[in-house]
Amino acid sequence: MSVITWVLILTGVGLNAAAQLLLKVATKPLSQFSVFNADTLHSSVLILFKSLPFWTGMLCYAASFVRVGRRAVKAPVSTAYPVLSLGYVGVAAVSVAWLGETLTPAKVLGIALICAGRGLGIAEFGMKPFLPFTRPSIDEHSIAGRRGCFPVGPIGQRSQSGCL
C-alpha cells in the first residue's frame, strides 16, 4: 500500500475516534433522565439537536467514512481493517485523560490484546511495527508478470511456461 493510503486510513481512524468522543460529550446531559419514555425522548432529541459536539461528531463520522471508504478499496482488507481497531485504543486513552474515565484491568487487557493483534498482523507481512509503508507488498503474479511469464498453475507447481 502507498503512503497516501496509510495516511488517509489513519486520518479516518482519527476522525472516527474524535466522533466517538464528541458524541460521548454530547450525550452527557442526557444522564439527567432516569426513565425512557416519549417525554424524555422528545427532550433528548432537542438537547442533541442543539449540541455542537453532537453535530461536530456527526461530521467527523461522515468525514471518516469518506476517508476510509475512499482508500479501503485499494488496501488489502486484512491490513486496513485491523488498523481501524487502533481507534479503540485512541478513544480509551483520550477518555481517561479528557473525560476522567478510569482504566480497569480488564480494559487494559483489552487494549493490550488489540495492540498485540495489530502487531501480529504487521509481523505477518514482514513489516516494521507502525511503519506499514516501509516495504511494498509484491505477490508472485506481479513478479512473474515482470519477467514476461504468467504462471497459471497452483503455487509450488510449474506452469506450462515453466515460470514457476
Range 21-33 burial, b when 16+ CB lie within 10 A, else e: bbbbbbbeeeeee
Cα atoms found within 13 Å of the Cα of residue 79, Cβ hemisphere only: 25
Supply the pLDDT for residue 32: 87
Supply the pLDDT for residue 59: 96
Supply the pLDDT for residue 125: 53
Task: Note the pTM of the prediction, 2 decimals.
Answer: 0.64
Burial class (CB in 10 A: 0-12, 13-18, 19+), 12: buried
Supply the pLDDT for residue 20: 93
Supply the pLDDT for residue 164: 45
Supply the pLDDT for residue 89: 84
CA-to-CA distance for 152 and 154, rounded, in angstroms?
A: 7
Supply the pLDDT for residue 81: 72
Supply the pLDDT for residue 33: 86
Residue 19's CB is within 10 A of a number of other CB atoms, namely: 23
* Mean pLDDT of successive 10-residue stretches along the chain, which has 164 residues: 79 90 92 84 91 96 81 68 80 88 90 79 52 46 47 49 48
